[in-house]
Amino acid sequence: MKNYDVVIVGGGHGGAQVAIALRQNGFEGSIEIIGRDPNPPYERPPLSKEYLAGDKTFDRILIRPEQFWADKGIGLTLGETVTKIEPDLKEIVLGSGERIGYERLIWSAGGDARRLSCPGAQLEGVHAVRDRRDVTQLMADLEAGATKFVVIGGGYIGLEAAAVLRKLGCDVTLVESLDRLLSRVAGEDLSTFFADEHRRQGVDVRLGCQVERLEGDTRVTGVTLADGETIPCDAVVAGIGIVPSVGPLIAAGAAGANGVDVSDTCHTSLEKVYAIGDCAAHANPYANGAVIRLESVQNANDMANTVAKAICGDPQPYDAMPWFWSNQYDLKLQTAGLSIDHDTTVLRGDPANRSFSVFYLRDGVVIAVDAVNSVKDYVQGGKLVKARAEVSPELLMDTDVQLKELL
Ligand code: FAD
């Protein structure tokens, strides 16, 4: 049986970064990344942006060149799924039945795209956008001549996919069940701005619409809504969130209801087992005491760095400020902080100029900023968030006042 000092489950953003950070922190033991995806670690954000648009090749989205991993003595076992953990034996079991021993286990398995559950969800031409294989299938439909798309879900993935499909000249209808876009992550000003923008770009945005079923025999031909209308299409893209991939961890006894619970050094309730990234539920210092999962590259990377430090004997609590970005058309949205439980929003600048920001406050304290085409507001606003600055809304909205003066 093979044995490693560190076994990392999942070769995505968190898994790759924890291996890199271990070596950067001087860890000399054996490291093996075991990943279900057959490809070496690659970036996910371009999958719904430049890669889908054909502006970047796969080589250009690799997290490191292929040779890097061998050079650093980091083993890659790809195309293998970890199906079981036996914490008492400190062993994991792969889908192939092979057992592997670990001294420390780092679970970085992210999440699986949530699938539609309505009738017709299994038809051909219904796509998720989570990994390279999903996007390869979607691109194959485009190459085969699909031009009429229904995007289901008005979160970041759905909106980014809609923007790329429009850029490629497709006819796009976007269906969102709630009454505004980005409702889980952004305030109303931003939701309205993005809905207007997508409509201006030719997307038929339908809010407050429930999908009843997908039509077609073997391949999808339409999406029928609860009001009976059928929107004809050649293909569907569903961006309706993820389900954290934690089955084997929970089955092994790890605590967790929404993903797996971790401490401030990303340790699970199982001995010598850490969890990071999209699947890790943690008490984020920017979340007003709430235990949350964050789905972002920042969170995966910073949690990875936290675990690497802990393993290398320099444990430090995870307290990084959350940040995120999304690109749609020529719009770059950058977010710092978390707007959870905000009681006030402040608009700075004019959305009509396509460069503005929205600040979120709680009890007078700046807790988050969404900046659209405004790197300055993002950077300086982020400093206000980090400083937990108390600032009056009047000053925040006054574009003659430099944000750095408010620190
Ligand atoms: P992942 O990167 O998802 O990696 C998990 C890996 O584990 C996968 O490779 C999976 O195959 C593997 N795995 C799962 N189960 C098992 C198992 N049982 N055994 C072995 N391997 C397993 N974030 C941003 O901050 N900005 C963006 O613009 C942005 N855009 C995005 C666009 C898309 C299309 C997607 C899908 C995500 C985007 N994100 C973005 C989110 C970001 O990519 C994720 O938050 C990040 O990848 C999380 O890292 P992770 O290591 O937790 O999971």
124-151 pLDDT, tens digit each: 999 999 999 999 999 999 999 999 999 9
Residue 44, ligand 1, Cβ within 6 A: yes
Q: How far is the CA of 69 from the centre of ligand 1 (A)?
A: 19
Q: Is the CB of 63 under 6 A from ligand 1?
A: no
Q: How far is the CA of 182 from the centre of ligand 1 (A)?
A: 19
**Angle CA(297)–CA(21)–CA(11) in degrees, nearest 5?**
55
The burial class, CB within 10 Å (0-12 / 13-18 / 19+), for 356 is buried
Q: Indicate if ligand 1 lies below 6 Å from the C-beta of 301.
A: no
Q: Is 328 in the pocket of ligand 1 (CB under 6 A)?
A: no
Q: 237 C-alpha vs ligand 1 centroid, how far in Å? A: 18
Report how far ligand 1's centroid is from the alpha carbon of 183 (Å).
21
Mean pLDDT of 381-402: 97
Report residue 69: phi and psi, to 5°: -65, -45
Residue 407 has pLDDT above 90, yes or no: no
82 lines ligand 1 (CB under 6 A): yes
Q: Is 48 near ligand 1, meaning CB less than 6 Å away?
A: yes
Tell me the per-residue pLDDT of 249-300, one tens digit each, with 9 for 90 and over.
999 999 999 999 999 999 999 999 999 999 999 999 999 989 999 999 999 9
- The H or E element spanning position 7 is strand 2-9
The pTM of the whole model exceeds 0.85? yes
Mapped onto helix, strand or coil, the DSSP state of residue 318 is coil
Check if the beta carbon of residue 323 is closer than 8 Å to that of residue 302: no
Q: Ligand 1 centroid to 128 CA: how many Å? A: 13
Q: Mean of the per-residue pLDDT values for the chain?
A: 97
> With a 6 A CB cut-off, is 296 part of the ligand 1 pocket?
yes
**CB 32 near ligand 1, within 6 Å:** no
15 lines ligand 1 (CB under 6 A): yes
The reported pLDDT for the residue numbered 184 is 86
> b or e along 29-41 (b: 16 or more beta carbons within 10 Å of the residue's beta carbon)?
ebbbbbbbbebbb
Strand-pair category, 82-86 with 91-94: antiparallel
Report the separation in Å between the CA atom of 43 and the middle of ligand 1, taken as the mean of its atom positions.
8
Q: What is the mean pLDDT of residues 40-59?
A: 98
Alpha-carbon gap, residue 86 to 93, rounded angstroms: 8
What is the per-residue DSSP string for 157-212? HHHHHHHHHHHTT-EEEEE-SSSSTTTTTS-HHHHHHHHHHHHHTT-EEE-S--EE
Please report, rounded to a whole number, the percentage of residues in the chain having pLDDT higher than 70. 100
Residue 282 Cβ < 6 Å to ligand 1: no
